[in-house]
Structure 1
């Protein structure tokens, strides 16, 4: 009886860690997708208005940094859940 309870607790902990690892991977994937969409839009905008390339590039870098920061926060949170 006690062995069953221990096995169920271990299985639940492993499932939680797998879920946290999946969430970290999902956060990284979504950030990559978002930055790719921003890059695509920036290239299209620069092709339409080459004279605004500097402003578009600056805005793109700022927004990509914000997305990367949010993704890093998500990955760190998931790693803390795994290591806890």
Structure 2
């Protein structure tokens, strides 16, 4: 419902306003940020679940599995932070 209202008023603003400023970049940044957060959450969740399953299967290799999991998790989180920064820049630079 909120999406429909935002699209209705976001699209209608340039038509009815004399100055014609568009607010659709806020909508695009919100969708982009949502996709980044959802994608990073799913990726980190699946990766961590696989690591926990491997540790449960082979507890003696927990140190090696944890060491092997850290770098990809940090890289995935870094990509998510970069996506959030880009979405914030879209909002602030417009």
Please give the range of the TM-score, normalised by the shorter of the 2 chains.
0.7 to 0.9
Deviant stretches of 4+, over 3 Å: 3-9
Unaligned stretches of 5+ in structure 1? none
TM-score of the aligned structures, taking structure 1 as reference length: 0.82
Query: Does the alignment pair 1:53 with 2:65?
Result: no
Query: Does the alignment pair 1:77 with 2:83?
Result: no
Query: Does the alignment pair 1:67 with 2:67?
Result: no
Unaligned stretches of 5+ in structure 2? 1-13
Tell me which protein shows more helix as a share of its residues.
1
Q: Which structure would you say has the larger RCO, counting Cα contacts within 8 Å and 6 or more residues apart? A: 1
Deviation, structure 1 residue 5? 8.5
| Structural RMSD (CA) | 2.1
Count residues in correspondence. 80
Matches for 1:11-26 after TM superposition, within 5 Å: 13-26=22-35
